[in-house]
A and B are shown apart, each in its own frame.
Chain A
Amino acid sequence: MSENENEITINNYLKYLSEGKLMGSKCKTCGQIDVPARKLCSKCIKPETDWIEMSGKGKIAAFTSINVGTPYFVKKGYDRKKPYVFSIIKLDEGPMVSAQLVGVDESHPETIKVEMPVKVKFLKVEIEGLPEKVDLGFEPA
């Protein structure tokens, strides 16, 4: 465990995610918001950032319906006949994040549109032999 429990680290970002919170960082100097949270502001590279919770609302910036997935998603139960959607979401607060998009027709990706409004959905993952975790997801708003 870190000495400062509230330090901006990947581990603490993931811990928030497991509690159903999408957290970014806000720079005290220039106001830049970064998601996932960063210790050094991505714009002015100063280490004065604070945690800030995102509204979880945004729009699709880019997406794909994947038929040949990663081993991790194969373990999650996806395959050629059951594709999943990987997306890049532009949050209302400005930053973009990568996440699985659910609640859409993965087999008919032409029905999904860039700029479609979405909202965050925390995806509980249970894979045999692995600790339970939460992955970031989005669904149509």
Chain B
Amino acid sequence: MGKLARKVALVGAGTSKFGQTFPLRRIPEHWTDAWLNAVATVDNGIEPKDIEACYVGNYSADLFNHQGHLGPMISSLVGLNPKPAPRFEGACASSGIAMRQALITIASGLMDVICVCGIEVMTEVPTVGVTDALATASDVSFEYTAGATFPGLYAAIASAHMHKYGTTWEDFMRVAIKNHINGKENPFAQMQRSIKDLMERKIAKIKGAGGEVPDWKDEFDYLRSPSNPPIAWPLYLFDCSLVTDGGACLFLASEDVARKFTDTPIWITGTGQGSAAIAMHDRTTLTALEATVEASRQAYKMSGRGPKDMQIAEVHDCFTIAEICAMEDLGFYEKGKAVEAIKNKDTYRDGVKPINTSGGLKSKGHPVGATGAAQAVEIFKQMRGIAERDRQVKFDVEIAMTHNLGGSGGTCVVQIYEK
């Protein structure tokens, strides 16, 4: 397994405002918003004529929007026809894969500049349709017939992790509390409120209605209340990422042309993709995600970096337990030790290893096919020092990582970024 044949940089990146927007904002609006926001970050400007292909990551417009064949639809909206516009699918890792393939294409010398699109508009179908569409990313023959839902599969991982390492409900909630604190500072996030804000809002609402004011001492008391109902025990509502509409856009350029666009390119120095059995019962372990271990091993090897070098990371927290597993499977912490770092607030914005400064999938939202590219957008902003509001970390980020999972961990894509 080799190296990239030449260096590739991220020279621009942006997302649309995430939220539940159908029918007001659909695929074209989310994509063109993301495009315009990404164009605005390219220092010397970028135009369609500079771009040689459009790589589209989308999980299932087929099921969510009854729309297939997304590639040329996306490229025609931003004047990229007749250039190639392939679509990549790997469940929630779709745009992580699209980005990785753009990187490989450019490194090969075939093209110099590629635009990556990540897109998903999920709220066109009712919740039951969303649950069903997401469940098709599991093994439909044997997991689905046994009743597995998307939260249910991660809940099963959580039950095994709790049993083996003594992980608790409070540990899960600490992940959610931290990610909401970050999402509050992200103007593109779906939920720009901390859990404390949500608790106070609820108290005010009860007071306003003349009801008995609950004696919640802190967020944990609030999260023990019916405001946080079980979805798939041991996971509750606040363990779960959101159902989201959103788009993301990235511009990747070869080392030969990158400086035409900017004096401060962000180099993508490592990439890896791993696979595991789509059915969890066919895997060798239920407390770790093997695809994460493999994807990160490849990316570390390619970049010559290790887990300790990663100053910040966007990890795939589709559920709180997924962030805990990622912290361990990426090698940041030993198995069973991530919860200590969480308790210690090491992964807060002002901690020693900030994770999910964007708010993560939990608070920023999880438009599944857009998530991988959107993670790269946050890393781009943090490394450039342009993260909005109070979200910018207080040190200069030289090395960072994105970790993007598909389904219950059948696919994983990891990318490493350096200045």
Contact = CB atoms under 8 A, between A and B. Distances in A.
Interface of A: 10, 36, 42, 61-74, 78, 80, 83-89, 95-100, 109-110, 113-115, 135-136
B319 to A, nearest CB: 11
A135 B142 CA distance: 10
Nearest to A73: B147
Interface in B124-173: 128, 131-132, 135, 139, 141-149, 151-152, 155-160, 163
B234 interface: yes
State the majority secondary structure of interface residues on B: helix
A78 B132 CA distance: 15
Nearest to A109: B233
A63 B159 contact: yes
Contacts of B231: 66-68
Interface in B156-195: 156-160, 163
Across the A-B interface, give the 4 residue pairs with the lowest CB-CB distance, nearest first.
A64-B155, A114-B163, A62-B156, A96-B281
A44 to B, nearest CB: 16
B326 interface: no
A66 B232 contact: yes
B281 A66 contact: no
A113 B148 CA distance: 18
B156 A36 contact: no
Given A97-B142, A98-B143, 14 more contacts: A61-B286, A62-B286, A64-B158, A64-B232, A65-B232, A66-B151, A70-B131, A71-B131, A86-B149, A88-B286, A96-B282, A99-B146, A114-B163, A135-B145
B141 A69 contact: no
B413 to A, nearest CB: 24
Contacts of B163: 113-115
Contacts of B145: 72, 135-136
Interface of B: 128, 131-132, 135, 139, 141-149, 151-152, 155-160, 163, 229-235, 279-282, 286
A65 B132 contact: no
Contacts of B155: 64, 66
Contacts of B235: 64
Nearest to A135: B145
B232 A98 contact: no
8 contacts: A62-B160, A66-B149, A68-B232, A86-B156, A96-B282, A97-B142, A109-B234, A135-B146
A101 B263 CA distance: 59
Contacts of A97: 142, 281
B146 A71 contact: no
Contacts of B280: 62, 88, 96, 98
Nearest to A68: B231
Given A71-B128, A88-B280, A66 B152 contact: yes
A19 B135 CA distance: 28
B156 A100 contact: no
A87 to B, nearest CB: 7
Given A61-B286, A96-B282, A70 B230 contact: no
Contacts of A109: 233-234
